[in-house]
C-alpha cells in the first residue's frame, strides 16, 4: 500500500482538529477542545458553524474540554447522522457523545456514554481508556481505544452505541490491534475508516513522546495502515496492520482522523485527513491511497 499527498491546506480558524467526516460534498470537522462543529468545503473553507451546546465555545481548557476524538457517519431510519464521542480519559466531561442529523436544522443531541466507558475501565485488558476513533461497519458503530507504551490498541465492538435506556446489560467484544514503532516510539491508532469496496480497515497511527494518555508530548509523526479482509477478522482476538505506508510530509504531523471522499472501486481511493498539532494550526490533507 502506498499513498500520495496531493494537496495540503492550513486551517487557521479551526484548532485541535481531531475528527473529520465527509458527507454531501462537505467536511464536518470537530476539534477536541471545541463545542462548535465546523462544516467546510473539502479545502477547509468554513461554510457553517454549528454549536453543540448553547454559546458554543472553542479553546476550552484541558481540564474541562469534551475531548471529542472519534467521529463517523451513520444512518438511523435512513437518515444521515454525524456521530462523535469523547475519549473517556477523564470523567465526566469526556464521557459524552453527540449526534447531529445532517440533513435537517435540528440541534445536536448530546448523551452520556458513562455506562459503556465505566464497563471498559473495569476491563483488565484496558489499562487506560482513551477512545480515539469511531467508524461505521455494516451500519454498526465500532470504537478503537488508542494504545501506547503500556497497552496495545483495542478494537471495541459493543452490542449498542446509540442512546440506550440504561437498563440493558452492556456487552462487547475486544480485539487487539498492533501498530508500528515510528522512529523508535510506539504509535497508537488515532483514526479509522472502513473501506467497503475492498473490505479493508484503513487507520492512521501517530506517536508522541509522552508517558500517558492525558498529557501531550513532542509529536514524532504518523503513518497509515490497513487491515485487509476485515469482516473475516473481527471475530478473532488479535489482528495486525498488514500494510504500513509512510510519507515525509505526513510523517511529521499528528494525524488524528481520516475519511473517504471518493471510492470508485478502482485501485485509487481518495481520502482526506486532518492533523492536531497541539497549539499550532490544524492541517488538512488530500490523499490518494493506492490499493
**Three-state helix/strand/coil letters over the chain:** CEEEEEEEEEEEEEECEEEEEEECCEEEEEECCCCEEEEECCCCCEEEEEECCCCCCCCCCCCCCCCEEEEEEEEECCEEEEEEEECCCCCCCCCEEEEEECCCCCCCEEEECHHHHHHHHCCCCCCCCCEEEEEEECCEEEEEECCCCCCCEEEEEECCCCCCCCCCCCCEEEEEEECCEECCEECEEEEEEEEHHHCEEEEEEEEEECCCCCCCCEEEEEEEEEECCHHHCCCCCEEECCEEECCHHHHCCCEEEEEEEECCCCCEEEEEEEECCCCCEEEEEEEEEEC
pLDDT value at residue 290: 86
Whether pLDDT at 13 is above 90: yes
Does the CA dihedral 83-259-231-233 come out positive or negative?
negative
Residue 30 grid coordinates = 470537530
- By the 8 A CB rule, do 83 and 141 touch? yes
Q: In what order do the strands lie in the sheet with 153-158?
A: 131-137, 140-145, 153-158, 172-178, 238-240
pLDDT value at residue 144: 98
Angle at 282 between CA 114 and CA 178, to 5 degrees: 55
Whether pLDDT at 93 is above 70: yes
pLDDT value at residue 212: 62
pLDDT band at 2 (very low <50, low <70, confident <90, very high): confident
- CA-to-CA distance for 34 and 12, rounded, in angstroms? 15
- By the 8 A CB rule, do 20 and 38 touch? no
pLDDT value at residue 248: 64
Q: What is the distance of C-alpha 15 from the center of its chain?
A: 16
pLDDT value at residue 228: 94
Host domain of residue 85: 2-290
The number of distinct structural domains making up the chain is 1
pLDDT in tens, 111-157: 999 999 999 999 999 999 999 999 999 989 999 999 987 899 999 99
Alpha-carbon torsion, ordered 48, 54, 57, 62, to 10 deg: -130
Q: From residue 237, how far is each of 34, 156, 177, 206 by CA, in Å? A: 35, 11, 9, 23
Whether pLDDT at 102 is above 70: yes
What's the CATH number where 194 sits?
Answer: 2.120.10
Whether pLDDT at 217 is above 90: no
Q: In what order do the strands lie in the sheet with 268-275?
A: 2-15, 281-290, 268-275, 255-262
Residues 6+ apart with CB under 8 A from 102: 23, 24, 28, 73, 80, 81, 82
- Tell me the whole-structure pTM to 2 decimals: 0.93
Whether pLDDT at 71 is above 60: yes
- CA-to-CA distance for 183 and 167, rounded, in angstroms? 46
Residue 268 grid coordinates = 485509487
Amino acid at each position: 500500500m502506498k499513498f500520495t499527498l496531493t494537496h495540503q491546506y492550513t486551517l487557521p480558524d479551526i484548532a485541535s482538529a481531531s475528527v473529520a467526516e465527509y458527507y454531501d460534498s462537505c467536511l464536518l470537522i470537530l476539534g477536541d477542545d471545541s463545542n462548535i462543529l465546523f462544516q467546510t468545503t473539502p479545502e477547509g473553507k468554513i461554510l457553517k458553524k454549528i454549536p453543540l451546546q448553547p454559546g458554543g465555545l472553542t479553546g476550552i481548557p484541558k481540564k474541562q474540554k469534551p475531548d471529542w476524538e472519534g467521529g463517523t457517519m451513520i444512518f438511523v431510519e435512513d437518515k444521515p447522522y454525524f456521530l462523535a464521542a469523547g475519549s473517556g480519559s477523564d470523567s465526566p466531561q469526556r464521557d459524552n457523545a453527540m449526534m447531529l442529523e445532517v440533513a435537517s436544522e435540528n440541534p445536536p443531541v448530546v448523551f452520556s456514554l458513562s455506562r459503556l466507558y465505566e464497563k471498559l475501565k473495569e476491563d483488565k485488558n484496558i489499562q487506560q481508556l482513551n477512545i480515539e476513533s469511531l467508524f461505521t461497519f455494516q451500519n454498526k458503530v465500532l470504537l478503537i481505544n488508542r494504545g501506547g507504551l503500556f497497552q496495545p490498541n483495542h478494537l471495541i465492538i459493543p452490542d449498542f452505541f446509540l442512546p440506550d435506556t440504561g437498563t440493558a446489560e452492556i456487552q462487547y467484544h475486544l480485539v487487539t490491534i498492533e501498530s508500528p514503532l515510528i522512529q523508535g516510539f510506539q504509535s497508537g491508532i488515532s483514526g479509522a475508516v472502513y473501506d467497503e469496496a475492498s473490505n479493508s480497515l484503513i487507520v492512521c497511527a501517530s506517536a508522541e513522546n509522552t508517558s500517558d494518555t492525558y498529557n501531550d508530548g513532542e509529536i514524532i509523526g504518523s503513518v497509515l495502515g490497513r487491515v485487509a479482509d476485515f469482516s473475516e477478522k473481527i471475530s478473532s482476538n488479535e489482528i495486525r496492520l498488514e500494510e504500513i505506508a509512510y510519507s515525509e510530509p505526513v510523517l511529521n504531523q499528528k494525524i488524528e482522523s481520516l475519511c473517504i471522499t471518493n471510492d470508485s472501486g478502482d485501485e485509487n481511493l481518495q481520502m482526506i485527513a486532518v492533523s492536531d498539532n497541539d497549539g499550532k494550526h490544524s492541517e488538512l490533507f488530500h490523499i490518494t491511497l493506492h490499493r
